[in-house]
Amino acid sequence: MPNGKNVPNDTNARPTMQRPLRWLWLAVAVVVLDLATKYVASSQLGYAQPVEVLPFFNLTLLHNPGAAFSFLATHPGWQRWFFAIIAIGASVGLTVWLSRIKHDEKLLAIALPLIIGGALGNLYDRLVHGYVVDFLSFHAAGWYYPAFNVADIAITLGAVALIWESIMGERRRKKAANASH
């Protein structure tokens, strides 16, 4: 390991990020913000009673026993444990991935903890309540987007960042490889 860095003998290898798990603070922040906002929504809003904030945005407390867009919500309860297992597995897998990211993958270092934090925030709800607390409701011209929460926002932002890093990171690596030849 030259210069004390985690670099294999291959001169084209990219060094791994030093202490990548330090980025898990972001996952913790997402969980705290998510659970705090869900607590406030649950204690201040009446169930399914919209509170208009803007002409296109309401705060509406809803309980979702399914997944995104109420997927599998009408089933008798097995989906609670199914989605809990998926959240645990994804969080473990993404944490392992985070521990192995390369030095130049900063966006990935943000994306993975966002997804982990969102998954854990919704996992808490599933395990404690048997449903996920949603309260952010956007609508226009009689059409309502499914309600969601802070955890869902974090998962979505993390997924977008993950896709962006996948596309742009590969381009960046190819460009760097071409420049070094």
What residues are labeled active site? 134, 152
Provide the pLDDT for residue 1.
43
How far apart are alpha carbons 165 and 173 in whole angstroms?
11
pTM for the complete prediction? 0.82
Range in 25-29, 90-94, 129-133, 167-171 with the lowest mean pLDDT: 167-171
Reduce the DSSP state of residue 47 to 3 states and report it: strand
Alpha helices in the chain (DSSP H): 24-44, 78-99, 106-129, 150-179
Per-residue pLDDT averaged across 109-135, rounded?
A: 96
Provide the pLDDT for residue 127.
93
Q: Which neighbouring-strand residues pair with 140? A: 143
Please write the tens of the pLDDT for every residue from 68-85: 655 555 545 666 788 789
Question: Edge-to-edge strands of the sheet including 143-144?
Answer: 51-54, 57-64, 132-140, 143-144
For the cut 50, the answer to whether the pLDDT of residue 11 exceeds it is no
**Percent of the residues in the chain that have a pLDDT greater than 70, as a whole number:** 83
Q: Which of 36, 53, 55, 23 is nearest to 142 (CA)?
A: 55
